[in-house]
Amino acid sequence: MLSKNQLGSSELYVSEMGLGCMSLGTEEKKAKDIIKQAIDLGINYLDTADLYDFGQNEEIVGKALKGQRDKVVLATKVGNRWSSGRDGWEWDPSKEHIKSGAKESLRRLQTDYIDLYQLHGGTIDDPTDETIEAFEELKKEGYIREYGISSIRPNVIERFANSSSIASVMMQYSMLDTRPEEYLDYLHSKKISVVARGPLAKGLLTSTWLEKAREKAQDKGYLDYSYDELTELLAKLDIANGDRPLQSSAFHYCLAHPAVASVIPGASSEAQIKANFSAIEYPPLTDSELSDLKKLLKQSHYATHR
C-alpha cells in the first residue's frame, strides 16, 4: 500500500510514487491501460503537461480518467507555447497565456478543475508578479486547487518561494543528480514540497543499468560522471544494495528527506508500472543505509541561475 504525503501545506495528499505521463505515448488503449494499472496499484498522482505530444497527452489522460476523476490528484503544466509550425516552442509566462492555457487544459482533460497547475520552467527575467497573479486568480475562480513550479533554477525557485503561495517545486532529483539537496531543507522550512522527477536517471538506476549506461552515457557520461565513473559507481551501488533492487534504493533515497512528497517516474508499459510499484514497496532506507549510499555519491551543485 502506497503511503500519501501532504503537498506543502495544501489539502492535497499525493501517493509517495506518482506517474509521469510524458512517456505514455500516443497509442490510446495502451496509455489508458497503463493509467488504469497505476490507479489500481494505489497511485493517485498523475502528472502531465500541455506541451506533451501537442496536447494529445492531456487528452488521453482525460479520457482515461472518465468515471474515476475523483481518485486522482491531477497535475499539469503551462508556460510553453508551440510555434505555428510545431517545430519548436517559445516561453510565455504571461498572465494572458497562463489563464487561457488553463482553459485549454481543462478542455483537453475533460475536467472542471486542475488539482495542481505548474509553471513549466521560468527565468529570472519573467514578469513574476503577473505570473503569480494569474495562478492566484485561477485558484480563486476555482479552476485550480493549488499551483507550483517545475524548475531547477535556484533564482527562480527562491523568487517563488518568497513571493507566492506555491505548494510544490518539481525538480530533477536522483542519486546521480544531487543538486536539489542544497534546497531541500530551505523548501521544507517554507512548507513547500518537492516532487522528484527523473528519480531513476533515465533508467540508469535500475537492474538494467549497464545496458542503459552503454546506451545513454557511453559518449558523454551523465551530468558530473564520466562513463567510466558511472559504471564503477553503479556497480558499487548494486553491491551496496544487497537484496534490495537498485530501483528501490533510487526511490527511497529521494523520499528520505521530508521535503520530498512524491517521486514520479515515467512508464511506457504496464510492466514498468508493476516494477516501479514492486520497488517502492520495500521499506524506507535506514539512516545507516542512506549514509552508506551518500558516501559513494558526488554532491553536485547548481552552477548557473544563482
CATH number of 4-203+252-285: 3.20.20.100
Q: Are 196 and 254 in contact (CB under 8 A)?
A: yes
Nearest of 152, 132, 175 to residue 294 by alpha carbon: 175
At residue 11, φ and ψ (nearest 5 deg) are -95, 10
pTM over 0.85: yes
- For residue 174, what is the DSSP state? B
pLDDT for residue 33:
95
pLDDT for residue 54:
77
pLDDT for residue 7:
98
Nearest of 8, 26, 7 to residue 18 by alpha carbon: 7
Distance CA 19, CA 285 (A): 22
pLDDT digit string (tens) for the chain, length 306 residues: 899 999 999 999 999 999 999 999 899 999 999 999 999 999 999 999 998 877 789 999 999 999 999 999 999 999 887 766 666 778 889 999 999 999 999 999 999 999 999 999 999 999 999 999 999 999 999 999 999 999 999 999 999 999 999 999 999 999 999 999 999 999 999 999 999 999 999 999 998 888 988 988 898 999 999 999 999 999 999 888 888 999 999 999 999 999 999 999 999 999 999 999 999 999 999 999 999 999 999 999 999 999
pLDDT for residue 85:
63
pLDDT for residue 240:
87
The catalytic position among 52, 173, 183, 222 is 52
Q: Are 187 and 196 in contact (CB under 8 A)?
A: no
Question: Measuring CA to CA, how many Å separate 51 from each of 56, 72, 171, 228?
Answer: 9, 21, 17, 35
Question: Measuring CA to CA, how many Å separate 303 from each of 80, 157, 180, 182, 220?
Answer: 24, 14, 12, 12, 19
Residue 113: active-site member: no
- Domain residue ranges of the chain, discontinuous segments joined by +: 4-203+252-285
